[in-house]
A and B are shown apart, each in its own frame.
Chain A
Amino acid sequence: GAGVSQSPSNKVTEKGKDVELRCDPISGHTALYWYRQSLGQGLEFLIYFQGNSAPDKSGLPSDRFSAERTGGSVSTLTIQRTQQEDSAVYLCASSLGGQGRAFFGQGTRLTVV
């Protein structure tokens, strides 16, 4: 596609429910990243994919968070048993290789009520 696409753009969920956030990177970009932007805080790195493997998961805040990437393309970030502190904007980015410029999606605004 022309840019990084994320869906849904907004998600409201009840505490304790599971959510899935989707990212479609730019076609041909092998590297994919997930970031989180919490209210009043900066962006924090969550996880990095090179192809389908995730060599760096160091930013995932707890074992309730997981992500996968299939076919070297679409990625899904899953949050299980959501908590209110999970409320944030989740941003996905992709780049052509690990050293390339990162292009960001519009983000998914998650609200846990």
Chain B
Amino acid sequence: AQSVTQLGSHVSVSEGALVLLRCNYSSSVPPYLFWYVQYPNQGLQLLLKYTTGATLVKGINGFEAEFKKSETSFHLTKPSAHMSDAAEYFCAVSAGGSARQLTFGSGTQLTVLP
């Protein structure tokens, strides 16, 4: 069994400030972890993923996430928010790496304030 919890359904940051979106997971086997972004009127796009190896994963648009097994976390960060980052972000876990086994969190709506 696997599950994902995203803390905070809405997060607001000022332009230029640090972005931190929290994700905690549970998985009975070593997880594959993903962050997806959904811009208005668009489909989901993969931001980054962790499978094995280096625990700090860099993705597109300056985002990165760190897999912390001891904390069962995979928080998404970006040092400096841009207005174009405003979107909904979904954390997902897959026990076997397959998209059919993806379990998504409920999403976090990021608002960037000028």
Interface of B is mostly: mixed
Which residues of chain A have C-beta atoms less than 8 A from B97's C-beta?
A: 99
Which residues of chain B have C-beta atoms less than 8 A from A48's C-beta?
A: 99-100
Interface residues in B, total, Cβ within 8 A: 24
Contact in complex: A42, B41 (CB < 8 Å): no
Ranked nearest first, the 4 interchain pairs of A and B with the lowest CB-CB distance are: A102-B99, A48-B100, A43-B104, A104-B44
Q: Is B26 an interface residue (CB 8 A)?
A: no
- Given A4-B43, A104-B43, A33 contacting B100 (CB threshold 8 A): yes
Q: Determine how close the nearest CB of chain A comes to the CB of B50; give it in whole angstroms.
A: 13
Contact in complex: B90, A31 (CB < 8 Å): no
Seen from chain B, the residues whose Cβ lies within 8 Å of a Cβ on chain A are 4, 6, 9, 36, 41-46, 49, 90, 92, 96-100, 102-107
Instruction: List 6 contacting pairs A-B, 8 Å CB cutoff, sorted by A.
Output: A42-B104, A43-B92, A98-B100, A101-B46, A102-B102, A107-B43
Q: Determine how close the nearest CB of chain A comes to the CB of B98; give it in whole angstroms.
A: 5
Complex Cα spacing A37 to B27, Å: 22
Seen from chain A, the residues whose Cβ lies within 8 Å of a Cβ on chain B are 3-4, 6, 9, 31, 33, 35, 40-45, 48, 56, 91, 93, 95, 98-102, 104-107
Which residues of chain A have C-beta atoms less than 8 A from B42's C-beta?
A: 106
Q: Determine how close the nearest CB of chain A comes to the CB of B11; give it in whole angstroms.
A: 16
Complex Cα spacing A91 to B43, Å: 8
Complex Cα spacing A4 to B42, Å: 11
